[in-house]
Amino acid sequence: QKEVEQDPGPLSVPEGAIVSLNCTYSNSAFQYFMWYRQYSRKGPELLMYTYSSGNKEDGRFTAQVDKSSKYISLFIRDSQPSDSATYLCAIGDYKLSFGAGTTVTVRA
Amino acid sequence: DAGITQSPRHKVTETGTPVTLRCHQTENHRYMYWYRQDPGHGLRLIHYSYGVKDTDKGEVSDGYSVSRSKTEDFLLTLESATSSQTSVYFCAISEDRVLYFGPGTRLTVT
């Protein structure tokens, strides 16, 4: 069993829709939860970073962590074509384990 | 971009040849990492370093070695390249547990 499982997608949504991305993890000791965005042929870049359970909001992006269920989510509101990218969840501490990524396409 | 550069950015090599990829950082970070990225697998950790001459294995370390003789440089060596090592290789540094990635090296082993 992989340490981090991510819904594979791909997802295609119309502009303005809400995008929902999810990951589950197996190691209850994990404390740090991150979402990265990766554009084609680029390195991943940090999008959201949370520590412990709860919600964190940054503009159109909301990250949720439910440690009791070992489940994390990323929501993108009012999605834009510029949000089209691959989104990777990452969980761990000094060593991060990554999900396989979900490719999102926002159609204008 | 966290001051990370990788070289070369692209490389094509033949099976059985040794290959060294270089990661250079300008901000004196203690932790450095090498990941590979393949379709369907996401990013997988190869090796990481927590200081000069201090390194440890990740989940996919077979066939790879690393060295770190200076804080700013972290080298990844494929001793004898195989086709299964065709991949995109990313170097990263850690700052407060957040990873910041370099631009990547696209390696093709023919």
Q: What is the mean pLDDT of residues A41-48?
A: 94
Answer whether A2 touches B (CB < 8 Å): no
Smallest Cβ distance to A43: which of B42, B48, B103?
A: B103
Q: How large a percentage of chain B has pLDDT more than 90?
A: 91
Number of H-type helices and E-type strands within chain B: 0, 11
The answer to whether B105 and B8 are in contact (CB under 8 A) is: yes
Q: How large a percentage of chain B has pLDDT more than 70?
A: 98
Residues 7-66 of B with CB under 8 A from A: 31, 33, 35, 40-45, 48, 50, 58
Q: Which residues of chain B have pLDDT under 70?
A: 1-2
Three-state SS at A72: strand
Q: φ, ψ for residue A79 (rounded to 5)?
A: -60, 145
On chain B, the residues whose CB falls within 8 A of the CB of A94 are 31, 48, 50, 94, 97
Distance between CA atoms of A102 and B92, rounded to whole angstroms? 21
Interface contacts (A, B; CB < 8 Å): 49
Smallest Cβ distance to A32: which of B40, B97, B103?
A: B97
Q: Can you state the percent helix, strand and coil of chain B, rounding each to 5?
A: 5, 60, 35
pLDDT in tens, A65-106: 999 999 999 999 999 999 999 999 999 988 899 999 999 999
